[in-house]
Amino acid sequence: MIKHLTTRKIRDEDVRCFGDGLHPAAEGDGFSAVVRWDVYGSINHWEHIHYRCNSYKAKITLMPKGKYWIITHFGLMDEERII
């Protein structure tokens, strides 16, 4: 039996975000939006490279907390491998 040992290197190279506009949150002073983002990257293993792009879509809600904004809701709606 031959045992294969591999080392994978995964690197995110670019992230692009898109949204459909902001809407007041159901409660509080925050806002909600349906957003989509594409993550471009590469996977290096077994002495070759695969280039990938995965696309994600989610509904998020952000609320103010002090001087920061925090994500209080994250609902993944879709995920798809583009490349």
What is the per-residue pLDDT across 9-44, written as a single tens digit (0 to 9) for each? 667 677 788 887 889 988 889 999 999 999 998 888
Look at residue 32 and tell me if it is in a domain.
yes
What is the per-residue pLDDT across 35-81, written as a single tens digit (0 to 9) for each? 999 999 888 888 888 888 999 999 999 999 999 999 999 999 999 99
Look at residue 2 and tell me if it is in a domain.
no
Please give the tally of structural domains in the chain: 1
Look at residue 3 and tell me if it is in a domain.
no
* Residue 71 belongs to domain spanning: 9-81
Residue 19 has a pLDDT of 80
Look at residue 46 and tell me if it is in a domain.
yes
Model pTM? 0.72
Look at residue 65 and tell me if it is in a domain.
yes
Look at residue 69 and tell me if it is in a domain.
yes
Look at residue 58 and tell me if it is in a domain.
yes
Look at residue 75 and tell me if it is in a domain.
yes
Residue 64 has a pLDDT of 94
Cα separations in angstroms, 10 against 17, 18, 42, 50, 73? 20, 24, 6, 10, 28
